[in-house]
C-alpha cells in the first residue's frame, strides 16, 4: 500500500494525468483544469440502467460518478458535476467500500465515470476491494480525452473501456471543448485501450467481460463530424471494437454562441448517420431507439451510495 500512497503523492504534487498537463500541486489544495484537488469527490454510486445492454442489462451497472473533468464540454449533460462542484468527499478506503457495496447490490460491473483525474486513487481502491472479494469486471467510462501514460496505469485493472469519440474535426473540438488536439489525443488513447483489452468478449448472459466500446454522441447540425468519426473508427479498428451511436443529446444549458446546440438531434440527422454506418460496413454496434433525448435519462446527482450507510 505504501507504493500506492507514494504514487498518489507523485501525481497529485505535479499533476499531468490528463492531456491538459496543468502541473498543479493538487496536494497543496490547488486545482488544475479538472477543478479538483487531491481529495476524491463523487456525486453518485448506484445501479445504473441506462448504459448499453451488455453493460447494464437487467442487473444494472455499478456506476460511480466522479466530480470534475479534464475536458469540460460546453454542452455537457452532467455539467453540475463535470463543470460544477457537486459531490461528496470520500477517501480511498471509502471508495473501495463503495465498490464492494455495489457488488453486494448485484451490479453487473463497476463503472468508473469520468475518473481520469483520480486514476492513482482508483487503482489503490481497486487493490483494497480486490483483496476483500470484489470480482466484478471494471468499466472505465471516459470522454476519450486521455493520456496514454495514464491509461497504462490502468492496465490489469480495467476490463472494459467505454470511451467517447466526440470530434473528428479539430475546430469543433476547440469551439465546444477548448481542445483542438482532441482528434489526435483520442486516436492514440483508443489504440492503447484496444491494445489492453483485445477484442470484445461477452459472457453466456450477454454481459461484456472485456473489450472496448466506443461511443459517439451526434451533435445537432454536425452529422458530417459524426460520419468522419465513424470512418476513422472503421478504418483504424474494424471489428476489434463495438461502436455505440447515440442520439440522446439533450440541451441542458442555453448556448449563446453555438445556438445549433440549443435543440435535439432530429430523426433525419440520426438516420443519416446510421445509414453512413451501414454503408461503411460497420458490423459491431449499438444504436438507440425511442425518446432517449430526455432529461429523465440524466441521473440525479444526489450522493446516493456515496455517504456511509
Task: Give the residue among 8, 69, 1 at the shortest CA–CA distance from 38.
Answer: 8
Q: Quick count: other Cβ atoms within 10 Å of Cβ 250?
A: 15
Give the whole-angstrom CA distance, residue 120 versus residue 153: 8
Task: Give the residue among 51, 52, 78 at the shortest CA–CA distance from 65.
Answer: 78
Give the whole-angstrom CA distance, residue 92 versus residue 80: 23
Residue 282 predicted with pLDDT over 60: yes
Give the whole-angstrom CA distance, residue 294 versus residue 298: 8
Give the whole-angstrom CA distance, residue 12 versus residue 29: 10
Whether the full predicted model's pTM is greater than 0.85, yes or no, is yes
> Per-residue pLDDT averaged across 170-191, rounded?
98
pLDDT at 299: 79
Residue 85 predicted with pLDDT over 80: no
pLDDT at 305: 94
- Per residue in 24-47, pLDDT (tens digit) is 999 999 999 999 999 999 999 999
pLDDT at 301: 85
Residue 290 predicted with pLDDT over 70: no
CA dihedral for 261, 267, 268, 272, sign (positive or negative): positive
- Per residue in 194-238, pLDDT (tens digit) is 999 999 999 999 999 999 999 999 999 999 999 999 999 999 999
Residue 187 predicted with pLDDT over 80: yes
Burial level of 23, CB count in 10 A (0-12/13-18/19+)? exposed
pLDDT range class, residue 81, cuts 50, 70, 90: confident
CB 41 within 8 A of CB 68: yes
pLDDT at 306: 92
Collect all residues with Cβ–Cβ distance below 8 Å to 208 and sequence separation of at least 6: 54, 55, 109, 137, 160, 200, 201, 202
Mean per-residue pLDDT over the chain, rounded: 94
pLDDT range class, residue 295, cuts 50, 70, 90: very low
Amino acid at each position: 500500500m505504501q507504493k500506492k500512497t507514494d504514487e498518489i503523492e507523485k501525481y497529485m504534487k505535479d499533476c499531468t494525468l490528463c492531456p491538459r498537463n496543468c502541473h498543479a500541486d493538487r496536494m497543496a489544495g490547488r486545482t488544475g483544469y479538472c477543478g479538483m484537488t487531491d481529495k476524491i469527490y463523487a456525486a453518485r454510486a448506484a445501479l445504473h440502467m441506462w448504459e448499453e445492454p451488455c453493460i447494464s442489462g437487467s442487473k444494472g451497472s455499478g456506476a460511480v460518478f466522479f466530480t470534475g473533468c479534464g475536458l469540460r464540454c460546453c454542452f455537457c449533460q452532467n455539467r453540475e458535476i463535470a463543470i460544477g462542484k457537486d459531490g461528496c468527499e470520500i477517501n480511498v478506503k471509502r471508495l473501495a467500500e463503495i465498490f464492494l457495496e455495489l457488488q453486494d447490490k448485484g451490479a453487473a460491473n463497476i463503472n468508473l465515470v469520468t475518473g481520469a483525474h483520480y486514476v492513482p486513487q482508483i487503482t489503490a481502491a481497486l487493490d483494497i476491494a480486490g483483496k476483500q472479494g470484489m470480482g466484478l469486471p471494471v468499466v472505465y467510462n471516459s470522454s476519450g480525452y486521455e493520456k496514454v501514460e495514464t491509461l497504462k496505469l490502468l492496465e490489469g485493472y480495467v476490463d472494459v473501456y467505454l470511451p467517447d469519440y466526440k470530434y473528428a474535426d479539430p475546430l469543433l473540438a476547440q469551439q465546444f471543448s477548448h481542445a483542438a488536439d482532441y482528434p489526435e489525443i483520442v486516436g492514440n488513447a483508443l489504440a492503447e485501450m484496444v491494445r489492453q483489452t483485445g477484442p470484445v468478449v461477452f459472457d453466456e448472459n450477454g454481459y461484456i467481460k472485456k473489450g472496448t466500446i466506443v461511443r459517439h454522441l451526434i451533435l445537432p447540425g454536425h452529422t458530417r463530424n459524426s460520419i468522419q468519426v465513424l470512418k476513422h473508427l472503421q478504418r483504424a479498428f474494424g471489428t476489434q471494437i463495438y461502436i455505440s451511436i447515440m442520439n440522446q443529446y439533450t440541451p441542458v444549458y442555453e448556448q449563446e454562441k453555438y445556438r445549433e446546440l440549443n435543440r435535439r438531434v432530429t430523426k433525419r440527422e440520426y438516420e443519416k448517420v446510421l445509414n453512413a454506418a451501414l454503408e461503411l460496413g460497420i458490423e459491431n454496434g449499438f444504436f438507440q431507439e425511442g425518446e432517449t433525448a430526455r432529461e429523465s435519462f440524466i441521473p440525479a446527482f444526489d450522493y446516493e451510495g456515496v455517504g456511509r450507510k
